[in-house]
Amino acid sequence: MLLVLLALNLLISIALSMSLYYFSNTALMSELDGRLLSAARAIPFVLPDGYIDQALLNQLVEEDTYLNNLSKLNQYATQVGVSYLYVLAKVDQQVRYLADSATPGETQQNNYGHFGQSYADQQRAIQSVIETGKNYRGTLKDQYGEFRSLAIAMPYGQGQFYVLGADIAMAEVLARQSSIQLRAIGFGMLLFALGSVMAWLLASRMTAPLRRFSSAVHRFAAGEFDVRMPMHRHDELGNLASAFNAMGDAISAREHLMRQLAFSDRLTGLPNRVKFAELLTGLINKGQPWLAVVMIDLTDFRYINDAFGFEAGDRVLCTMSDRLSQLQPDQLRIVSRVSGNSFALLLSAVNESQVQAQLQTVETILAASIVLGEQKVNVAIRSGIAIYPLHADHAEGLLRHAEVAMFFAKRDRESSVTYDPTREESRLSQFTLLGDLREALTENHLVVYYQPKINVASGMVSAAEALVRWQHPSRGWISPGLFIPFAEKTGKLRGITEWVLREVLRQQIEWNRQGVHILVSVNVGVSDVEDAQFVDFVEAQLNIAGTAANLCLEITETGVMHKPDAMLQNLARLRRLGVQLSIDDFGTGYSSFAYLAKMPVNELKIDQVFVMSMNSTFESVSIVRSMIEIGHILGLKVVAEGVETIGIWQALAVMGCDEVQGYLIAQPMAASDLLVWLAQGPHHPSELTPPSMANF
Ligand code: C2E
Ligand code: MG
Ligand code: MG
């Protein structure tokens, strides 16, 4: 900007000084020419009266007279500021001086000045004036130098002219011109200097705010969102500054919100995991010698969401958050919501015994009932503990280990577990197992075993339960108890269920060809039957299998209990597809009678815990009897699983149990073995031998 203004200023200064020079020079020349004109015109009046007329008549001019005139003209020339004055005319066909102001010592003829030595240009000019009667004005040169000359044609006689001339030495003209030049240059320089100052002022007035603006933008881009522009201008720059500041305010506000969101939990307003880790790191860095981090999980929180809706779930979380926040700093230093239903706490405890006492307080205040609608709900917690510096020396490690410990507390149904690295190793191996599971499904490492069920009244094999086994390439046989619960927790169960279902239906088609028609029960997870797409899958598979399909799905009682409404529709659809439904492990889920009545199921399978303990406790016998009665009242078939002794079989038969399944009859076996076993018959209790303990 400044450069442009300076260039412009230079151009203007040059143009102005050049025009100044031009006008001054023109004025000088016209002043000089005016001086020449008046000096030349005055010559006849300086000379004696009639002198020129006499001289023109070719009368002899006395030398004294000539010299006298010369002195007069010389004096006059000096007075008026010209270098030379002269009168020239043609006398005797020769151009001669009739008078002049400074004749040098030339040879005189008739005492006239001699013009013979004149330069060609000068001669031509004078000849032309004398002959044409036209004045001459210009530069002429002779042996005395160069002059600015004026030669005026003066008429006399018949068409004749003589010349009145005046000269000014070019040296003087040039001296005057160069002083004009100097003045013009000085003026130009002054103008340029003034212009430059103005340009600088203008540029700095315009560019300084722009520079400030540009630096503000750079700082802004670098993350300094609190940079603002001064706004004391009312021009475009002022508008720009206010727009910039408005943008800065908006970004700051958004950043503030983002920071809040990044560090706090929106629902409860508690610090989130990131913030908790930051606070914990701060304490560790301050040199705290011992810290106890606890991760707590609200047990069965999922079911509160399912039964009462998400709003109620949120209310429970906020209540828990309030209760934890009310704890005094001598019990709890930091509380944070780290994920859905998990809270991380930093206890004030300084040793392990204090941890247990403080955790007890936390459990007590959280266990107090919460009113949801017309119901009171009690939320239990499971917690994992990690100690600094014993289990980790940094915040993330402590959080992770507390989480791992909490995972074990949940899995093993303990109220609290302190982190134990050896336990984690086995968990890690489960993770690797989970990775292998994908391969197991694609490489067909899974195998379905079948455990027959016997109709108590007829003693005939009526059905079989499909139980999956994993023939792991390096670990050998893995029982479902080791991978099914884990697969279910990590959302990997669907792949297994679908694989087993396909395999069972394929097997039924094969058996069908061989004349074997038995109902096969397949275990499914609650996440399967919750999903309408799973029902679509079953429908598609049934269509493929056609009439060979004779399917029952077993769902655990705890599973069916929790998602009644969402699941009922799917179960009803499965029933319409001709699939039988069974409630597995009945007795462990505390289903209400009313609830059971609503379920579109065909069968109750009494959990083996009750069946097996019939041998030892009388109470179990009456429980099993009640279960059989409930099943029958509801019009359901009742199956007892885990039948290992003839005594239990007989007791079940007396109580009216419809079917039995257990090691007494047969262990789960490969499909081909089942065919052989079926062919071996009979399977009545009197002919059966109880299983040996080696089979367990
Ligand atoms: P479940 O459905 O209750 O199956 C019965 C379990 O009891 C089977 O164990 C069976 O081998 C065992 N059992 C049967 N009779 C006796 C007996 O007289 N005494 C004793 N002690 N046990 C007996 P398994 O095969 O290890 O399966 C365990 C659980 O794994 C099953 O319990 C079922 O919940 C699950 N499971 C097995 N296969 C599948 C499957 O394909 N899909 C799903 N979702 N779960 C499966
Ligand atoms: Mg089962
Ligand atoms: Mg069972």
- Kindly report, residue by residue over 147-180, the tens digit of the pLDDT: 899 999 999 888 889 999 999 999 888 998 899 9
pLDDT band for 100, please (50, 70, 90 cuts): confident
Nearest CA to ligand 1 atom 37: 467
Gap from CA of 553 to ligand 3 centroid (Å): 12
More confident of the two residues 409 and 142: 409
- Please give the number of the atom of ligand 1 that sits closest to the Cα of 556: 34
Alpha carbon of 641 to ligand 2 centroid (Å): 9
- pLDDT given at position 694: 33
Q: Is the dihedral of CA 106, 110, 115, 117 positive or negative?
A: negative
Query: Quick one: residue 246, left, alpha or beta (phi over 0 = left, psi -120 to 50 = alpha)?
Result: alpha
d(CA 359, CA 354): 8
Q: Please count the structural domains in the chain.
A: 4
Asked if 134 and 235 sit in the same domain, the reply is no
CA of 467 from ligand 1 middle (Å) equals: 6
Ligand 1: atom nearest CA of 668 is 11
**CB contact at 8 A, 382 and 410:** yes
- pLDDT tens by residue, 622-681: 889 989 998 998 899 999 999 999 999 999 999 999 999 999 999 999 999 999 999 887
CA–CA dist 606, 659 (Å, integer) = 10
Give me the residues paired with residue 449 across strands: 467, 670
Counting from 1 in the atom list of ligand 1, the atom nearest the Cα of 493 is: 44
Question: Residue 122, by phi and psi: left (phi above 0), alpha (psi -120 to 50) or beta?
Answer: alpha
Q: What is the CATH number of the domain that holds 332?
A: 3.30.70.270
Domain that holds residue 139: 2-175
Q: Ligand 2 centroid to 450 CA: how many Å?
A: 11
Triad 651, 653, 659: Cα angle to 5°: 120
Q: Which atom of ligand 1 is nearest to the CA of 488?
A: 44
Report how far residue 148's alpha carbon sits from residue 153's, in angstroms, rounded to the nearest whole number.
17
- Are residues 328 and 242 both part of a single domain? no
Per-residue model confidence (pLDDT) at position 528: 93
For residue 543, report the distance from its CA to the centre of ligand 3, in Å: 28
How far is CA 605 from each of CA 34, 349, 662, rounded to the nearest angstrom?
140, 48, 12
Residues 6+ apart with CB under 8 A from 514: 675
Nearest CA to ligand 1 atom 34: 523
558: CA distance to ligand 2 center in Å? 13
CB 359 within 8 A of CB 382: no
pLDDT at 424 over 70: no
- For residue range 492-516, list pLDDT tens digits in order: 899 999 999 999 999 999 999 999 9
Tens digit of each residue's pLDDT (9 = 90 or more) over 547-566:
999 999 999 877 776 656 77
What is the pLDDT at residue 696?
Answer: 30
Question: Two tokens at 375?
Answer: 């119901």
Point out the ligand 1 atom lying closest to the alpha carbon of residue 605: 3
CA dihedral 489, 495, 498, 503 (to 10 degrees): -120
- Give mean pLDDT, residues 31-58: 88
**CA–centroid distance, residue 349 to ligand 2 (Å):** 46
For 197, the enclosing helix (H) or strand (E) is helix 170-221
Dig out the tokens for 42 from the structure: 């005055």
Ligand nearest to the CA of 585: 3
Higher model confidence: residue 523 or residue 176?
Answer: 523
Cα 6 to ligand 1 centre (Å): 95
Ligand nearest to the CA of 642: 1
Q: Give the confidence band of 543 by pLDDT, cuts at 50, 70, 90.
A: very high
Domain end call among 368, 395, 419: 419
Q: What is the pLDDT of residue 241?
A: 80
345: pLDDT confidence band, cut at 50, 70 and 90?
very high
CATH number at residue 549: 3.20.20.450
Q: Would you give the distance in Å from CA 641 to the centre of its chain? A: 59
Cis peptide bond upstream of 389, omega within 30: yes
**Same domain (yes/no): 535, 439:** yes
Nearest to 127, CA basis, from 88, 157, 78, 174: 88
545 and 398 co-located in one domain = no
Q: Does residue 339 fall inside a structural domain?
A: yes
Counting ligands in written order, the one closest to the CA of 488 is 1
Distances (CA, A) of 21 to 194, 195, 356, 518: 19, 19, 104, 125
Q: Given a cut of 80, is residue 59 above it in pLDDT? A: no
Q: How far is the CA of 480 from the centre of ligand 2 (A)?
A: 11
Surrounding ion ligand 3 within 5 Å at CB are 584-585
Q: How far is the CA of 468 from the centre of ligand 1 (A)?
A: 8
Neighbouring C-alpha atoms within 13 Å toward the C-beta of 219: 14
Task: Give the ligand 1 atom nearest the CA of 661.
Answer: 15
- Alpha-carbon distance values, 407 to 297, 419, 427, 455 (Å): 9, 10, 10, 42
Ligand nearest to the CA of 470: 1
The residue nearest atom 42 of ligand 1, judged by CA position, is 523
Centre of ligand 2 from the C-alpha of residue 68, in Å: 158
Q: How open is the CA angle 172-173-177, to the nearest 5 degrees?
A: 115
List, for residues 303-325, the tens digit of each pLDDT value: 787 778 888 889 999 999 999 99
Give the pairing type, strands 603-606 and 637-641.
parallel
Rounded CA separation 622/456 (Å):
19
Domain boundary among the residues 238, 262, 286 is at 262
> What is the spatial distance between Cα 122 and Cα 115, in angstroms, rounded to a whole number?
10
Residue with tokens 């305010």: 249
C-alpha of residue 641 to centroid of ligand 3, in Å: 7
| Residues within 6 Å of ligand 1 by CB | 451, 467-468, 479-481, 484, 496-497, 500, 523-525, 554, 584-585, 608, 641-644, 661-663, 668, 696
606 CA distance to ligand 1 middle (Å): 13
Ligand 1 atom 12, closest CA: 642
- Using CA atoms, how far apart are residues 337 and 321, in angstroms rounded to an integer? 8
| Owner of token pair 């336990």 | 423
Ligand 1: residue whose CA is nearest its atom 41: 468
| Ligand lying closest to the C-alpha of residue 661 | 1
CA distance 321 to 335: 8
Q: Final residue of a domain: which of 262, 285, 319?
A: 262
* Minimum-distance ligand 1 atom for the alpha carbon of 500: 41
From ligand 3's centre to the CA of 162, what distance in Å? 152
pLDDT at 589: 63
Decide if 181 is inside a domain: no
Q: 670: which 2 tokens?
A: 């490969």
Same domain for 514 and 387: no
Q: Return left, alpha or beta for 661; rule: phi > 0 is left, psi -120 to 50 is alpha, else beta.
A: beta
The strand pairing partners of 372, in sequence order, are 375
**pLDDT of 107 over the 60 cut:** no
What are the tens digits of pLDDT across the range 64-79?
888 888 888 999 999 9
82, 142, 78, 156: which is closest to 113 by C-alpha?
Answer: 142
Q: What percent of the chain has pLDDT over 90?
A: 41
Q: 627 and 576 in one domain?
A: yes
Asked if residue 336 belongs to a domain, the reply is yes
In a domain, 685, yes or no: no
* Atom 19 (ligand 1) nearest CA: 642
* 3-state DSSP assignment of residue 416: strand
Atom of ligand 1 nearest to the CA of 663: 18
Which residue is closest in CA terms to ligand 1's atom 27?
480
Testing ligand 1's pocket by substitution, the residue of 478, 523, 583, 646 carrying the most ligand atoms inside 8 A of its CB is 523
Which residues, in sequence order, are bridge partners of residue 65? Answer: none
pTM of the model: 0.48
The highest-confidence range among 114-123, 367-376, 447-456, 585-594, by mean pLDDT, is: 447-456
Tell how far the Cα of 616 is from the centroid of ligand 2, in angstroms.
24
> How sure is the predictor about 590, in pLDDT bands with cuts at 50, 70 and 90?
low
Co-location of 254 and 326 in the same domain: no
Do the domain assignments include residue 199?
Answer: no
At 518, the pLDDT band (50, 70, 90 cuts) reads very high
Summarised one tens digit per residue, pLDDT across range 276-293 is 999 999 999 999 999 999
Spacing, Cα 560 to ligand 1 middle (Å): 18
Q: Cβ–Cβ contacts within 10 Å for residue 437, how many?
A: 23
Q: Going by CA atoms, what residue is nearest to atom 4 of ligand 1?
A: 467
Together in a domain, 611 and 473: yes
Residues 384 and 244 in one domain: no
Residues 476, 605 within the same domain: yes
* Model confidence pLDDT, tens digit, residues 529-538: 989 999 999 9
Q: Which atom in ligand 1 lies closest to the alpha carbon of residue 524? A: 44
Which position has the higher pLDDT, 411 or 197?
197
C-alpha angle 504/556/441, rounded to 5°? 40
How far, in Å, are 112, 457, 556 from residue 109 at the CA level?
6, 180, 157
Indicate the top mutation candidate among 467, 482, 501, 614 to test ligand 1's pocket, ranked by most ligand atoms within 8 A of CB: 467
538 and 659 in a single domain? The answer is yes
- What number is the average pLDDT over the span 403-412? 87
Q: Categorize the per-residue pLDDT at 692 as very low, low, confident or very high, splitting at 50, 70 and 90.
A: very low
Rounded to an integer, the average pLDDT of 409-417 is: 88
Residue 646 to residue 691: CA distance in whole angstroms: 10
Tell me, what's the pLDDT at 695? 35
Residue located nearest, by CA, to atom 22 of ligand 1: 642
The confidence band for 254, taking pLDDT boundaries of 50, 70 and 90, is: low
Q: What is the pLDDT of residue 591?
A: 64
Spacing of C-alpha 175 from chain mean position: 76
Nearest-CA residue for ligand 1 atom 8 is 467
Nearest-CA residue for ligand 1 atom 3 is 585
Ligand 1: which residue has its CA nearest to atom 2? 523
Shortest-distance ligand to the CA of residue 611: 1
Q: pLDDT-based confidence at 438, cuts 50/70/90?
A: confident
Share of the chain above pLDDT 70, in %: 90
Nearest to 238 by CA among 403, 246, 612, 378: 246
- Same domain (yes/no): 548, 571: yes
Ligand 2 ion: nearby residues, β-carbon < 5 Å: 523, 554, 584
Is residue 223 scored above 80 in pLDDT?
Answer: no
Please report whether residue 269 resides in a domain: no
Mean pLDDT for the chain overall: 85
